[in-house]
Structure 1
Amino acid sequence: MSAKESKPNLSDSQVSEISKRLYGLTASIIRPLPSYDDQNFYVAPSEGGEYVLKVMNSADSHNIALIELQTHSMNFLHQRGLPAQTAFPTLTGQLMSLEEIDCGFGMQKYLVRLLAYLPGTTISKITCSPRILYDVGKMAATLDTVLLQLEHPNLSAFQRENFIWNLTSVPLLNQYLHVMDGDPAQKVVKAVIEQYQIQVMPKLPLFRKCINHGDFNDHNLLVKPDGPSKYKISGILDFGDMSYYDMPIPRYSGRSFSEQSSAHEASTGPRRETDLRFSMAMAKFQKKVLTKLVDIHMEVRRLGRSEPPLSSAHVV
């Protein structure tokens, strides 16, 4: 199954029917929200309140244990004062429901959850001040620290072997280097991967492991005004990349947030880990570049167009 067929494509009428049948809500306003692999809808029912109906892609919907653990983690963080979304139960008391839906590719199964709607603007859309950058670092440190307390009988579900977004999987990027053929930046990416394999991989067994958000970036952090020209963090989104990671550092994959390092210093751990922070951060950035280029490559092939020359300029 292609990634395109895996991603749900529900209509407003299907969203309205699911909202009523599963949650007893009569949707008066429905509008789409951004999502990479899944489908998200803002739902405002006549009964009151604001929600996000999240429909997982059919591929990830098969991993019910992992999605249940992610949902538990979100609720856990919210209960401890962090601005994470919470999940609401269905009329039968379940926090998610596996639904068989036809989105144009035949009947497939999709996990559906109703989440709290968090108002705000993504950090990617504002001009960041030193204050908000510091707050991002502090939030990353707090998130890591609180997740150390997470308990669940199925925590092993976060041991995701060959998970492309885990930094232990950096060597897997070699299989995608061909999409950068002809791009001078390919040499840089190769050098970063080689540096990781030489400097980081031999030391991985010495690192502490922790559960990490995995995608703490400027599109997954919400802010809202806090005075005439200030903002405060109002939401943490998208827990789909949670995993056990080998360094308790924030996986910030968007803008350069070097200013946040001082706020996070207390949780970065032994020198053997902090000495390799640069190599790990560079590997994370190269992972972002390569996977984005692969997305462009696959979309061009899906549309049946002649492929334009791809370069890192398409991403950065």
Structure 2
Amino acid sequence: MEGLFIKPNLELVDVGKLVFELYGLKLIEMKPLESYDDTNVFIRVDPNIHQNKFLTKIDTNGYTLKILNSQNTINQPIELQHRIMKKINESGINTTVPILNIKGENSSIQSLPASRGGKDYFLVRLFNFIPGIPYKAINVTPALAYEVGCLAGKIDQSLKNIQNENEMAYNVWSMTAIPDLLSSLHYIKSEEDRRLLSTVIQMFSSKVMSKYTTWPQ
């Protein structure tokens, strides 16, 4: 994965300088956030100092600086993602949205120190931070699971007719990518686990993916 998804070397990236040069904001606090193949950093900025005419006020909850890995920097439908966020937000669901940089852009590509050494190009964005408790940190109850289902339904309804298939890139998190996991089962050390996963994936392919094209997209 490292050869494909190159992250920036956050220890060498001057986050304060990056935030100021791109967004005109003065960093006063930063904390790395959990992430998989991208780099996410929670930041707070000085509410009295900013040089961004596209920002009317400083969010006291802070911001999330998101730096995409090098592969997704060149391979993701970024503007489509932003339209989706905006559409969900407009439907009344509290959703993070991109903050415009000092050039009035949702994102920019920057040359930054890479985790493999040297430099690489990474797409940089800033989002308003929405405080809350991660789902994994609480006990899941039937009532809470029901609320999550209702929320998923509202999101689905809000995104009707927004997808543009010409912009949709292959995504390893997509349900359609599940059958591809068969080629990676050799990484699982337990033979019993490999057999179980193989059975589940094959059943998924035959019983679910065979009907995929008949579902609303």
TM-score computed with the length of structure 2 as normaliser? 0.84
| Aligned partners of 1:9 and 1:39 also within 8 Å | no
The 3 A distance-change label for structure 1 pair 63 and 197 is: closer
CA deviation after TM superposition for structure 1 residue 135, in Å: 1.0
Q: Name the aligned partner's letter for residue 94 of structure 1.
A: E
Structure 2 residue corresponding to 1:208, chosen from 187, 212, 215:
215
1:184 is aligned to: 192
Distance 1:110 1:44 in 2: 22
Contact 1:97–1:113 (8 Å) recurs in 2: yes
Residue 60 (1) aligns with residue 77 (2): no
1:87 to 85, 98, 101: 98
Alpha carbons of structure 1 residues 67 and 46: separation in structure 2 relative to 1, 3 Å: same
| Equivalent residue, structure 2, for 1:282 | none
Q: Which moved more, 1:190-199 or 1:21-30?
A: 190-199
CA distance in 1, matches of 2:150, 2:45: 35
Preserved contact between residue 101 and residue 107 of structure 2 (Cα < 8 Å): yes
In the alignment, is the contact (CA less than 8 A) between 2:5 and 2:71 conserved in 1?
Answer: no
Matches within 5 A, 1:129-208: 129-150=141-162, 154-160=164-170, 163-180=171-188, 182-205=190-213, 207-208=214-215
Aligned partner of residue 177 in structure 2, secondary structure = helix
Displacement after TM superposition at 1:127 (Å): 1.9
Whether 1:99 and 2:110 are equivalent positions in the alignment is yes
Greater shift in the superposed pair: 16-25 or 69-78: 69-78
Mapped partners of 1:61, 1:13: distance in 2 = 17
Distance 1:80 1:12, change over 3 A: farther
Q: Using the TM superposition, give the Cα deviation of residue 3 of structure 1 relative to its aligned residue in structure 2, in angstroms.
A: 4.5
TM-score by length of 1: 0.59
Q: Distance in 2 between matches of 1:29 and 1:182?
A: 43
Deviation (angstroms), 1:4: 8.1
Shift, 1:13, TM fit: 6.1
Q: Which runs of 5+ in 2 are unaligned?
A: 48-57
CA distance in 2: counterparts of 1:120 and 1:195, whole angstroms? 36
Match of 1:29 in 2: 29
**Identity rate, percent:** 28
For the residues of structure 2 that align with 1:4 and 1:62, how far apart are their CA atoms?
A: 12
Q: CA RMSD in A?
A: 2.3
Distance 1:111 1:141 in 2: 31
Task: Tell me if structure 2 keeps the 8 A contact 1:12–1:30.
Answer: no
> Which amino acid in the other structure matches residue 124 of structure 1?
K
Any unmatched runs of 5+ in structure 1? 211-316
Which secondary structure state, in structure 1, belongs to the residue aligned with residue 70 of structure 2? coil
The DSSP-based 3-state class of the residue aligned with 1:59 is helix
Distance 1:181 1:52 in 2: 36
Offset, 1:191: 1.7
Aligned pair in 2 of structure 1 residues 12, 53: CA closer, same or farther (>3 Å)? Answer: farther
Counterpart position of 1:288: none
Q: Are 2:133 and 1:121 equivalent residues in the alignment?
A: yes
Distance between the aligned counterparts of 1:62 and 1:20, measured in 2?
24
- The answer on whether the counterparts of 2:7 and 2:114 sit within 8 Å (CA) in structure 1 is no
For residues 4-40 of structure 1, the C-alpha deviation after alignment (integer angstroms, 9 at most, x for no partner) is 8701222386110111011110001111111111111
Partner Cα separation in structure 2 for residue 156 and residue 209 of structure 1: 17
Determine if contact 1:102/1:108 at 8 Å carries over to the other structure.
yes
Which region of structure 1 is more displaced relative to structure 2, 187-196 or 88-97? Answer: 187-196
**SS at the partner of 2:166?**
helix
Normalized per residue, the structure richer in helix is 1
1:72 equivalenced with 2:79 (yes/no): no
Looking at structure 1, the residues matched to 178 and 130 of structure 2 have their Cα atoms a distance apart, in angstroms, of: 33
Count of paired positions: 204
Letter in 1 for 2:144: I
Write out aligned runs for 1:211-290 (5 A).
none
